[in-house]
Structure formats: C-alpha cells, structure tokens
Structure 1
Amino acid sequence: MADSQGYRAKVGFLVPSTNTTAQPEIDDLRPIGVTNHIARMTIANSEMVERPGFDQVLDDIRGSATPAIESLITADPDIVAVGVSPEAFWSGVDAQSKVVSAFSEDAGGRPVITSADAVGAALGALGDLRRVAIITPYVKLGDNTVRRFFDDSGFDVVGIEGLGASTPAAISHIGPDRLRTAVAAVDSADVQAIVQVGTNVAMARFAASAEAFLGKPVLSNNAVLYWHALRTLGITDRFPGHGTLFEQH
C-alpha cells in the first residue's frame, strides 16, 4: 500500500546538523505526491579557515553518516540524496564511487546520489556543458579541493569564487548581495554554466533569477540535487520559476 502523502515517492535527504537551508529549499520544489524526509549528521560548528578545521568537519560527517542513514531508512525512502558537499567533492574522483557504494550499503541497497552525481547529470542534460565557473561557500583551501574534483572530472574550470564562510553554520548567513558579487566575479563570455556547491547556501531562488539576466544556466546545489533525485525516480514534472533545469529537462 502506498504512503498516503508520498504516494509517488519519498525522498530521503541527508544533511549536516548545522544545515538550515536544504530543507526549505527542497520543500519549495516538492511536487504533489512526493514527500521529503530529512536526517541530520551531527557535526561540530568547527572553524574551517585552516586544514585541521576542514578535517574535523569531514571526520564528523564520516562518523555520523551511517547512523543518520540508518535512522533515515526507517521511513522507507525510495532514494537517499546526500546533501553534503565536502563528502561529495573532497574525497576525489577515484574515491567517489566507493563513497556512494558505502552509503548505498548503509541504505539497504536503495539508490544513493550525491551533489557530484547531480551536477554531472545536470550539465549533461543541458548540452554536455564543460566550461564552468564555480561558487563555493569556502575559503581558498576548500576552493582548491573543489576545483581539483571538477578538473579531474574533465571540466574546464574557467573561474572559481569562495564565499568565505568560516564555519558550517555561517554558510547559511550568506545573502543575495554576496551571491550577486560572486556571480559577477566568476562570469565571463567563456563560461557555459555557473555551478554553486554547498547545500547550506540559500541560492535556489537567486540562481533562477540570475539565469534570466545572464542567459546561461546557473545551477544551485540543492535544486540540482533534488532535480536529480526526482529524475532518478522517474518523476519528470516540469514547472516554471525554478530555472531552466526544472522547466525544460
């Protein structure tokens, strides 16, 4: 018997405990008959301006991911979306499949997707776009790691801009003015698409607006990850107001 509310699908969404952005953004995108179910990985709000702080965040995520997934699957979701960029991008291309495989095992064999999977699928759907500019929530240390992942994945990173958040929770404080500055900093005639990573950055609505005046795709992490979850489940609803990806693909 189908779930009374999620009779089309139930989407499990894994986020760090400091994340206050992903849930409202994906709820704005939820089609009728689909329900979203959040699980939180407990992490400390560590300073991320030096390597030890970044490593602490990663250690916290890795230590709490399995318990969070085990809790999440008691709701019997149809898919698990891992809404945490560090684990998606920082493990490196070679380790990505191993990370997803381990998460899938924790999820009882359910499909598991990450931001890295979603961005690749979105850029492919939009025309196999390869020349990208990237916006991250991090300082330079984190920017370099994300750039390396995209380089190793065969993309040409034309520009990258870090938003400079010093802690995981501080990422959610980044507002439209800073996003506008970042988009202007990375855009150029060579850029085919702008990609924002980091699921605690509230950029879904801004990205849809930015596409209108830039005339090119602007992909926000939460919207892309949720789009990929829906399409993986065979839910192909298209609707306006949330960017080219949801309107046309």
Structure 2
Amino acid sequence: MGDVLGWRKLMGVIAPSTNTTVQPDMERMRPVGVTNHFSRIYVEDPLALSNEDFLVGTQAISDATHDAVRSVMTAKVDYLVLGMSAVTFYGGVEGSRKWKADVEAVAGVGASTGAESVAAALKAYGGVKTVSFVSPYYPVANTEVRRFLEESGFEVKRDKPLECKRWTDIAKVTPEDLRPVLDYLDGDDVDAIVQVGTNLSMVDLAVEYEQKLSKPVIAINTATYWHGLRACGIEDKIEGVGRLLAEF
C-alpha cells in the first residue's frame, strides 16, 4: 500500500534553516497526491559584509546539506527538491553536476537543483538567447551564476546582486524593492529575466512582470519545483504561479 496522502509522490524539500520562503512557495505549487516533506539545513544567520563573508556562508550551507538529506530520507521520499541555490551554480555546469551527483549519492534518489532547473525552464520556453538576473547574493556569487548560465548557452546582458547582509534579510526584500531592479534588468536586448536566491520571495512578482513584459520571468522556487514534478512524471498544469507550471 502506498502513502495515503502522497499516493503519487513524496517530495523531500531541502532548504537552509534560515529560509522562510521555500516552504510556503512550494506548498502553493503542490498537486493533489503529492506531499512535500521539509528538511532544514542547519546554518547560522551570519553577517555578510564582503564577497569573502558570503562565500564562507554558502560553504556552510553546502557542508551541512548531506545531513539534511539523510534526515529527510528516513521518510522514504521519492525525490529531492533542493531549495538552496547559490552553491548549485558554483563551478559552472560541471561543478553544478558534481554537487548534485554527490547529493544523489547520499540520498539514493534523484534531485532537482536550482541551477539546472533555471536552465531547463529557460529552454522550455523556447527561443531564449539572452537573459538578465537578480540575486540577493554578493558579486562573487553572481559571477558564478553568470558563468553557469553562459555555459548553459545563454548570453547574460545584466545582473544585479542585492548584497543582503544576513540570510534572514533576504526574505525581507519587498516587491517595491524589486520593481526598479526588474525595470533595470529588462530591455529589448533581453529575452528573459531570472531571479535566483531561494529566500527571495518573487513568485507573484514574476507572474506580474511576465504579464507586463510579455516575456519569461522566472522565479527560482517555481522553476525548481516545476523541474522536480516533471522529473517525477507529474505533468499537472498549475495555475496562478506563472506560465512555467501552467503551460510546460
């Protein structure tokens, strides 16, 4: 007999312990018969005042990820959705693949990362050649995101690092803060806009700007959960969170 509530799939959702956005975002996207089982990567809420500080903080997340994976696997979940993004971009496409493979080796099941999900989402829309992106990161991490996107076949026209000082500060960035950033990132030279940084709440704003600009605007939490569902053979079209889940 299968799981009574998760009779289609049990999804393990992994995110830093400081993250307050991934869990509610992905619960909104959950179809009937799929259940999300959250596991937190224990991490402090450090003060980041430099590129070096930011890298130390993301390394702490990476180092603690396997423990969170082992924890959620006790529920015998079918698949992992990895709700941390910076470390999944590091080292370009090859570095991203290796990081994912290490997680899957610990879990014994497949996983979707933010980096691969963004690339897959851009390709799903079709015709996207140029992109811009916003992150809550410091410039050193934006350089890694740019490298990954360019190695994935996209030309990056502009990017904006918000340089949030603490992990918990990321969730305090408002739509009003982000609208001028998105206006800066947009342009006739940009086919799509991407948001990375999973504690940055931009699902609804992405929907608003996708309609306003008539081009793909991809929130990373939407992309990662979409990728996880499709990897598990769940093809439900989900309304209200953007074209990606509604159409592809």
Cα distance in structure 2, aligned partners of 1:148 and 1:203 = 23
TM-score by length of 1: 0.95
Partner of 1:24: 24
Matches within 5 A, 1:42-53: 42-53=42-53
Say whether 1:170 aligns with 2:169.
yes
Unaligned 5+ segments in structure 1 are none
Counterpart position of 2:8: 8
Correspondence for 2:121: 122
Q: Deviations over 1:192-223 (max 9, x none)?
A: 11110010011011111111111011100101
The answer as to whether partners of 1:140 and 1:162 remain within 8 angstroms in 2 is yes
1:54 aligned partner: 54
Question: What TM-score, normalized to structure 2?
Answer: 0.96
Q: Distance in 1 between matches of 2:200 and 2:141?
A: 15
Taking the aligned partners of 1:153 and 1:48, their CA distance within structure 2 comes to 29
Shift of 1:153: 2.5
| SS of match in other structure, 1:75 | coil
Q: 2:179 maps to which residue?
A: 180
Are the aligned partners of 1:7 and 1:33 in contact in 2 as well (CA < 8 Å)? yes
Rounded Cα–Cα distance in structure 2 between residues aligned with 1:241 and 1:7: 24
CA shift for structure 1 position 53: 1.3
In structure 2, the partner of 1:100 is 100
**Alpha-carbon distance in 1 for matches of 2:39, 2:93:** 25
- Kindly tell me the number of residue pairs found equivalent between the two proteins: 248
Match of 2:211 in 1: 212
Q: Distance in 2 between matches of 1:107 and 1:205?
A: 32
Residue 244 of structure 1 is matched in structure 2 by: 243
Q: List runs of 5+ in structure 2 lacking aligned partners.
A: none
Q: Deviations over 1:99-124 (max 9, x none)?
A: 1111001102x011101111111111
- What SS class does the counterpart of residue 14 from structure 2 fall into? strand
Residue 66 in structure 1 maps to residue 63 in structure 2: no
Percentage identity across aligned positions? Answer: 36
Question: What CA deviation, in whole Å up to 9, does each residue of 1:3-55 have, x standing for no partner?
Answer: 11111111111101110000000111111111111111111212233133123
Shift of 1:128: 4.6
Deviates more, 1:37-46 or 1:92-101: 92-101
Which amino acid is the alignment partner of residue 71 of structure 2?
Answer: S
